[in-house]
Amino acid sequence: MKKEKEMQEGQWLVYDLGGGTFDVALIKIKDGEMKVLDHEETTFGWSRL
């Protein structure tokens, strides 16, 4: 039986621009498994409260 929603294989760059930070992650999806290859966070010099 085929899954209704399958993750597309490949490498993905995922970003988040919220909460005073800029987060970027490089994700690899292979054989239905997701792995974070690298992650970086920048706070733009702001302090977290």
Which pLDDT value is given to residue 30?
92
For residue 42, give the amino acid letter.
Answer: T
Which pLDDT tens digits describe the chain residue by residue (49 residues)? Answer: 455 566 689 999 999 988 778 899 999 999 889 999 999 988 766 555 4
- Could you tell me the residue ranges of all domains in the chain? 10-42
Which pLDDT value is given to residue 3?
58
CB 28 within 8 A of CB 37: yes
CB 28 within 8 A of CB 35: yes
